[in-house]
Amino acid sequence: MAEGTLTFSPDDRYNAFLRTVSPARYGEGRLSGVPVAVKDNISTAGIETTCGSRILSGYVPPYDATVITLLKKAGAAIVGKTNMDEFGMGSTTENSAFGPTKNPRDETRVPGGSSGGSAAAVAAGLVPLALGTDTGGSIRCPAAFCGIVGLKPTYGRVSRYGLVAYANSLEQIGPMAADVAHVSLLMSVIAGHDPKDSTSLDAPYAHTPSPDIRGTRIGVPEEFFGEGVDPRVASVVWDAISLLERKGAEIVTCRMPSMAYALAAYYVTCMSEASSNLARYDGVRYGPPADVRKPWHEAFQERRREGFGLEVRRRIMIGTFSLSSGYYGKYYAKAQAARQNVRKDFRRLFAEVDVIAGPTMPTVAFRFGEKSDPLSMYLSDILTVPANLAGIPAISVPCGKVEGLPVGLQIMGRWLEDERVIDVAYAYEQGANP
């Protein structure tokens, strides 16, 4: 296998990268020598992986995540690890222990999150391809805010082996790029069955996007244009949907009543899972060590208090509470019932329509510090979490601007119909940029 070297030292004024890798070695394959940026919660052998957290600073994984092995096999040059909200908890990348990332479209604004570094690196032209992860919107939100394309694949279609878990029943690794064709290309490299991930499906992706969407039925739920959605964003997205209609799709307005509980179901579920997944950071096995001269519980508490940021501590506490014996029925169990209702709603809708469309985010990118209370931050995820609760594929494609800032069109599809979601996004992109 031929190998080359690549010098990668971008002018990273956006703080998109937590660290760059240079020179990179790369081989032959479909992505031979193509620079790829990787979110810092994906394990890279020999390269520090921190999840944007102090508690993992200095941690160098001894193995590669399966997606990294696949990228290397395809010849890609992994050039750096990108900034993110700590452990994926956030929608702005302001929750990184290593400082926020700036939005290359407007440096006074957040890039979205939690894969904000990956989105900014692509939007700034520092790399053509990046990997993000999406637990409740973390690929689609930054894609929308930075004006790029991002796909959350069907749950199980891309291996999670080597992804540092935040809320494993919800999250997927997925591709981010400037256009749909590149997202599709990266998807074809990372998708496929992996025996090392017990939730992995045997569904490889080998698709060439087609802009022919004649006869495709597109459902548009009223709830995606409800309270909290900026009317200017709604109007840009409706224009995009009209373009799809002109390309031969049929538009069907519909209802999704389960949206009333989707956000609460998502937050109870992700915090519960996080409280369990993050129990392993005890200052013994990862990151800077705890002070072992102290009684273990003190050392353990001290290490976690110092190592985790405010949002992570908040979520561990709420998640622990909702799983505790007295409150499990009231919170966790109810969230799972609400999650089933979201799935039922999608099943009912997908009997009538082929895809569902709406805005990715209710607004354009926020200014730094604008969402200072957790609830208003959480509310911004209302349109992205349903796809994670149901495990279905969803993409965000740029569809216009409001006051100069990008707006994302979100297309959700049936389980395992990532190809169709790609095609509708591609049809939009081709139609909008003839």
Active centre residues (catalytic): 39, 114, 138
The yes or no reply on residue 101 touching ligand GLN (CB under 6 A) is no
Give 88 or 398: the residue with its C-beta nearer to ligand GLN: 88
Crossing angle (nearest 10°) for helices 259-277 and 310-323: 100
Binding of ligand GLN by 398 (CB under 6 A): no
Regarding 88 and contact with ligand GLN (CB under 6 A), the answer is yes
Residue with tokens 């006074």: 108
**Nearest distance from C-beta of residue 181 to ligand GLN, angstroms:** 24
**Among 15, 114, 184, 258, contact with ligand GLN (rule: CB under 6 A):** 114
Interface with ligand GLN (CB under 6 A), residue from 44, 69, 93, 135: 135
Nearer to ligand GLN, 15 or 133 (CB): 133
Six-digit token string for 179: 């256009």
Q: For residue 23, is the peptide bond before it cis, meaning its omega torsion is within 30 degrees of 0?
A: yes
- Contact segment (CB under 6 A) with ligand GLN among 71-79, 84-92, 336-344, 416-424 equals 84-92
Q: Residue 136 interacts with ligand GLN (CB under 6 A)? A: yes
Binding flags for ligand GLN, 249-278, as an x/- string (CB under 6 A): ---------------------x--------
CA 258 to chain CA centroid, Å, is: 22
Stretch that binds ligand GLN, among 46-54, 133-141, 242-250, 284-292 (CB under 6 A): 133-141
**In the bound complex, which residue of the shown chain has the CB atom lying closest to ligand GLN?**
138
- Return the number of other C-beta atoms located less than 10 Å from residue 29's C-beta: 17
Q: Which of 106, 211, 107 is nearest to 431 (CA)?
A: 211
Q: Which is nearer to ligand GLN, 139 or 190 (CB)?
A: 139
- The nearest distance, CB 417 to ligand GLN, in angstroms, is 21
Closer by beta carbon to ligand GLN, 157 or else 303 = 157
> Applying CB under 6 A, which of residues 35, 52, 75, 90 lies at the interface with ligand GLN?
90
Pick 271 or 290: Cβ nearer ligand GLN? 271
Q: Which range, of 12-20, 129-137, 366-374, 402-410, touches ligand GLN by CB under 6 A?
A: 129-137
| Residue 89 touches ligand GLN, criterion: CB under 6 A | yes
Q: How many CB atoms lie within 10 A of CB 244?
A: 25
Q: How far apart are CA 341 and CA 259, in angstroms?
A: 9
Instruction: For the CB of residue 306, give the shortest distance to ligand GLN in the complex, in Å.
Output: 22
Among residues 86, 134, 354, 429, the one that binds ligand GLN under rule CB under 6 A: 134
The nearer residue to ligand GLN, 101 or 216, going by C-beta atoms, is: 101
Span interacting with ligand GLN, options 134-142, 181-189, 211-219, 253-261, rule CB under 6 A: 134-142
- For the CB of residue 136, give the shortest distance to ligand GLN in the complex, in Å: 3
Tell me the closest approach of the beta carbon of residue 228 to ligand GLN, in angstroms: 15
Number of residues forming the site for ligand GLN (CB under 6 A): 13
> Does 91 engage in binding with ligand GLN (CB under 6 A)?
yes
First-residue to last-residue Cα distance in the chain: 39
**410 lines the binding site for ligand GLN (CB under 6 A):** no
Other Cβ atoms less than 10 A from the Cβ of 212: the count is 11
Binding ligand GLN (rule: CB under 6 A), the pick from 137, 192, 221, 398 is: 137
Pattern 348-387, binding to ligand GLN, x per CB under 6 A? ---------------------------------x------
- Which CB sits closer to ligand GLN, 303 or 339? 339
Beta-carbon neighbour count of residue 79 at 10 Å? 26
Site residues (vs ligand GLN, CB under 6 A) = 88-91, 114, 134-138, 166, 270, 381
